[in-house]
Amino acid sequence: MKAAAPTAPDSTITKLLSCAFAISSKESAALGFPDFPLDNLTLGAKILENNPKLPPYDLFFRLYPYKLFLKEQTTHLESLLESFDVKPQPQSVFSAFTQKVKTFLATPTPKKTYIETDYQNKLIEEMLQSEQTADFCIIGPRGSGKSLLVQQVANIAGKQTENIVLYQDMTARDLIQQRTTLENGDTVWTLSPLVLAALEGKIAVLDGIHRIHPSTLSCLHRLVQNRELQLHDGKRLISHERYQLLKTKTTPTDGVLPIHPDFRIVAIGEPPNTNTTNWLTPEVLSLFLFHEVRSLTKQEELHVVTSKYGPVSPQMHKIIELAHVLRHSGDQTLLNLAGHLSTRQILRLAARMSQFPTTDLYDVLETTFMVKFLPSLARGALERTFERLGVTQAARDPISVKCEVQDGVLTIGASSVPVHQTSNLSKVPEILFYDVPQHLQLMERLLQDFHLGQHILLVGNQGVGKNKIIDRFLQLMNRPREYIQLHRDTTVQTLTVQPTVKDGVLVHEDSPLVKAVKSGHVLVVDEADKAPTHVTCILKTLIESGQMVLSDGRRIGGTSPHHIPIHPDFRVVVLANRPGFPFLGNDFFGALGDLFSSHSVENPEPEAEIALLRQYGPEVPLETIKKLVKVFGELRNMADQGLVSYPYSTREVVNIVKHLNQFPNSDLEEVIFNVFDFDRYSSEVVDTLGEILEKHGFTGGKNLMLTPKKVKERIQVTVNRKSGLDVSAPKHGKEDPKNEPHVGGNTWAGGTGGRDTAGLGGKGGPYRLDKGHKVHQLSDEEKNSVPEHVQRAAREMGRKAFQEKLKEIGMSGYDASLYNQFYHSVERQVQSLRVILGNLQAKNKERHWTRHQTAGELDDVKLIDGLLGEKTIFRRRAEQEPELGAPQIKPKLFRLVVDVSGSMYRFNGYDGRLDRELEAAVLVMEAFQGFDDKIQYDIIGHSGEAPSIPFVKFKEPPKNNKERLDIIRTMHAHAQYCWSGDHTLEGAESAINSLAEEDCDEGIVIVLSDANLERYRIPPSKLAQVLTSKPNISAYAIFIGGLGDQAERLTEKLPAGRAFICRDVTQLPQILKQIFSSSVINI
């Protein structure tokens, strides 16, 4: 190090070396510290030589950014650093170098996008220090200004940038060289933007390093560490110094290219999170120096907003206040929502509110967070935070929005823009559209977005009219449209270009995206949630910085004449389904939502929907339309609760009304059943739908759902016959190993139309037995003619068989009826929860593309390789193998902590709290059955006698109703006979701490208790501390009893979203389902 930096301060170098080798020691390895990048110590010494006053801690953190990848071990490492007197220092005064930065930034520019803050200026100085010496990586949360800061560093250094978006399925060939063809058909290698940047001395900005596969990143090791790179065409890149040395030795330099001495690589990434593999591996740590970017403070954001848009309004003040409440919340639920109010999003809201002021702050935030599409738990926690900040939902007047085009000006509500002039009228949508006030209000906001130059994201359920609204909006504006629909097989290549081979020449046809960029059309990206997130993430640089590198090597944006310029009228409109259940697509809104002006699209209000349907079906009776609107309105509410799987939309009702309008003599109930055809395969959903239809006056009800007319005609395959033979005695009959159909007779079990044996359609048999054959049915008269003594014998034999079956699972008839009393109370909630878990399980097993195959579907990016005779040019669907080094996928662990104290039994007659708790246990045991590979559970109790009483153990769930009944009986008995007292706090702490030690991806703890904590002098702050004590455990408290307002007062003092009150028997399963929907959605 002294040889590399002779004048660097010895004391700082000694401290740095001491820390580095202490971390690399065997003792530290036992603590789980990743390897320290010892090879980078010389880089640290060079930076120190240029900046001798740099604190040791700052230099250490650039080499080893431990706060980004260490969790529990952070305190151990900081203790080690303090032993060498290496600890964070208060911010020092700015150096002369910072003054140079400030001088540059003070220079007037035509379009200034960077607003100075002391923190960011200091960060720019630190990055410039690193840029003088080595490549570096900047890491920070989404929307914190990383790309903007890197651009400022490049401007001050006087260098151009080459932005390269990294994505998950990017290969080393994509990063370095690609094959293409010349006009005469010859195949050639083209240099990638990274290689061109190396040759031209630019800064290569690798955006999204956290997304790229480690095997692809490995091709950069020699380029970063040795400034060498072997190209696929046989050429080699070497450092400028080595190239000059070769020239002086008169060594042939054919095929050797010098890397420009000003070349640098700057990587941009997001911090690792607990749900993904830690991408900051020792290999990545050895590649770069690191700089961490935090979100701006409240004062800094106020300064930026004021500088760009003038004085901050009271509404904007509250938005910034909310952003910082979320960012610093101790509640993980709220912390996860903070990304929706990034600095980027705050600036977008400030721009809108400066141009289009509003007093309805709740409406602004409701749209920003997509509140209506959040899981119930997150929505409740966020709305309580709104209330604490004084943001409430005001009463809204009936919507009345005018829409007209006069004298070439489109006016929607209070907003107006000139109608666009275009010659490409064939691409302007032309649709049938009936105005709905709710939709016109949305289109007014879209009009404002277009005026502000923003790109748009519409999110909503299927069938709510997202495409119709956008098409109508573009029709009114006279804007041509390019359309692309994404799907799960969409790749980065198909999104940008469409390669084909014509006459032996590879031709890249422009995708709709490129056509829209060139022509200034509006690009409509439909079904964006269906494509993998790493594919849609390539839109980031196009929208954020106006640049994109296409898969054929061309570039969108930039100043070169070879680049594709972005037309000033170009806009992107993205359409996506709501995130989460039930569509379970990729969360486009969560990944890229803050790049867009986002809006939610919902079904019209009932009155507006009635008016809309009357326009589609003028001949349909008004009462019929009103009944349909009520039915579907209730079904949508049930879909939000998860009681039915599909959120029925306006599209289904419109189709029903259009059918009735065209065919007025159609059977109404049969037309409705067409919509529910798929749902009849679920008996629980059938019951639900039947009840809703009966409730709203459809006379078929459940019978309609269970046996629709068209189905009855198909399933009536019985054949009437007459036996004429006498019965003798009931018996089971012989089992036919071939399971052939048997008609008549009295020998075989499972026959039809016979006598004495178990089967269907016969007489005198002991019980029913269906073997799946056509049924030959005896008449009722013949069956009634069976002698009484034979009937008694048959009934007795059937009863004994039933008792034997119950005995087989260890249950008596009385036990069955008792258990059913609890099960029937939560039957629907069990079904709802199993639907959620089932869909999550199916999503996890979705297959992915496997490339480099010798058979399958032709891979677009390997067409040239195929022309040259390569065999592995195909791709196939297969279950994705875990990445090398990725942790084993483990099931989630769920722990239900039940209160079996004496007060539960004592006050059960007062408010039914113990009954509700037993129902909760049944809900968990029934719903989780069969999902052991995804989520495992246990049930433990607490009472005055002990803080931890096991009822169900992990990996040992009850196997049948008898075992489940035994568990709830034991819980009931314990509450009846235990000593008085309370161990709620100790029980919760024990449950959370022990679960945190388990080897699992995530743990969920639900503590059931009455609110009787005051009696035992347990302060709410202690319970709050316990619930949030472990970051890898999501813990919640549900109070299922309490005298007076005990539960309300207790809940108000606990973290938002962590406490619930359940006073009604039917509420508890719903609360549990909300928690599961929020926590388990990451499975």
Q: What is the pLDDT of residues 431-467, one digit of tens each?
A: 989 888 889 999 999 999 999 999 999 998 888 889 9
pLDDT score recorded for residue 684:
58
Tell me the three state secondary structure of residue 302.
helix
Q: Which helix (H) or strand (E) holds 506?
A: strand 505-510
38/171: higher pLDDT: 38
pLDDT score recorded for residue 704:
46
pLDDT score recorded for residue 1077:
59
- Would you say domain 126-292 falls under CATH 2.130.10.10? no
DSSP 39: G
pLDDT tens digits along 96-144: 455 556 666 666 555 567 888 889 999 999 999 999 999 999 999 888 8
Q: How far is CA 837 from the centre of its chain?
A: 15
CA–CA gap between residue 835 and residue 838 (Å, rounded): 5
pLDDT score recorded for residue 840:
53
197-218 burial: b if 16+ Cβ within 10 Å, else e: bbeeebbbbbbbbbbbbeebbe
Which residues make beta-bridge pairs with 564? 556
Triad 491, 493, 495: Cα angle to 5°? 70
Tokens found for residue 105: 């930034």
- Would you say domain 403-549+559-601 falls under CATH 3.40.50.300? yes
DSSP 678: G
Cα–Cα distances in angstroms (integers) from residue 72 to residues 27, 66, 335, 877, 1032, in the given order: 17, 11, 19, 39, 11
pLDDT tens digits along 916-929: 889 889 988 998 88
Asked whether residue 522 carries a pLDDT value surpassing 80, the answer given is yes
Asked whether residue 945 carries a pLDDT value surpassing 90, the answer given is no
CA nearest neighbour of 266 among 131, 124, 136, 129: 136
Tell me the three state secondary structure of residue 586.
coil
pLDDT score recorded for residue 30:
75
- The whole-chain average pLDDT of the chain stands at 80
Tell me the three state secondary structure of residue 794.
helix
181/914: higher pLDDT: 914
pLDDT tens digits along 718-763: 556 666 677 778 888 888 888 888 888 788 887 777 788 876 667 7
Q: How far is CA 440 from the centre of its chain?
A: 30
Burial bucket for residue 977 (CB in 10 Å: 0-12, 13-18, 19+):
exposed
Asked whether residue 881 carries a pLDDT value surpassing 60, the answer given is no
CATH architecture of 892-1082: 3-Layer(aba) Sandwich (3.40)
407-419 mean pLDDT: 91
CA–CA gap between residue 774 and residue 752 (Å, rounded): 8
**Within 10 Å of residue 189's Cβ, how many Cβ atoms?**
17
DSSP 465: S
